[in-house]
Amino acid sequence: MNAVLSVSDLSLRFSTPDGEVEAVSNVNLDIKKGECLGVVGESGSGKTQLFISLMGLLADNGRISGSAKFQGKELIGMPLRELNKIRGDKISMIFQDPMTSLTPHMRVGKQMAEVLIHHRGMSASDARKRALDILDLVRIPEAEKRLSMFPHEFSGGMRQRVMIAMGLLCEPELLIADEPTTALDVTVQAQILDLISDLKNETGTAIALVTHDLGVVAGLCDRVVVMYAGQFVETGDLRSIFYEPQHPYTRGLLQSMPRLDQIKDENLIAIPGQPPNLQNLPDGCKFQERCPYVHDMCLDQDPTLQPVEEGHMKACHLGGFDEHGEVVA
Ligand X SMILES: Nc1ncnc2c1ncn2[C@@H]1O[C@H](COP(=O)(O)OP(=O)(O)OP(=O)(O)O)[C@@H](O)[C@H]1O
By the criterion CB under 5 A, which residues form the site for Mg ion? 48
- 23, interface contact from Mg ion, ligand X, ligand SF4, none, CB < 5-8 Å by kind: ligand X
- CA-to-CA distance for 275 and 47, rounded, in angstroms? 13
> Looking at 44, 88, 180, 303, which residue binds ligand X (CB under 6 A)?
44
Task: Decide which of Mg ion, ligand SF4, ligand X, none touches 148; Cβ closer than 5 to 8 Å per partner kind.
Answer: none
Mark 184-213 with x for binding to ligand X (rule: CB under 6 A) and - for no binding.
Answer: ----------------------------x-
Question: How many residues belong to the chain?
Answer: 329
Alpha helices in 204-263 (DSSP H): 214-220, 238-243, 248-255
CA distance 199 to 193: 10
Binder of residue 154, out of ligand SF4, Mg ion, ligand X, none (CB less than 5 to 8 A by kind) = none
Which residues, numbered 2-41, are part of the site for ligand X (CB under 6 A)? Answer: 14, 16, 21, 23, 41
User: Cα 101 vs. chain centroid, distance in angstroms?
Assistant: 16
By Cβ distance, which residue is nearest to Mg ion? 48
Work out the burial of residue 326: count CB atoms within 10 Å of its CB; fewer than 13 is exposed, 13-18 middle, 19 or more buried: exposed
* Shortest distance (Å) from residue 170 CB to Mg ion: 24
Q: Which of residues 290-329 bind ligand SF4 (CB under 6 A)?
A: 291, 293-294, 298, 303, 316-318
Positions of E strands within the chain: 3-16, 19-32, 36-40, 62-70, 73-74, 91-94, 174-178, 206-211, 223-228, 231-237, 306-309, 312-314
Q: What is the DSSP letter of 282?
A: P
Binding residues for ligand SF4 restricted to 197-256, rule: CB under 6 A: 248
Select 48 or 250, whichever has its Cβ closest to Mg ion: 48
Residues forming a β-bridge with 237:
223
Tell me how far, at minimum, the Cβ of 85 lies from ligand SF4, in Å: 42
Cα dihedral across residues 248, 242, 190, 113: positive or negative: positive
Which residues here bind ligand SF4, judged by CB under 6 A?
248, 285, 287-288, 291, 293-294, 298, 303, 316-318
Which residues here bind ligand X, judged by CB under 6 A?
14, 16, 21, 23, 41, 43-49, 59, 61-62, 212, 278
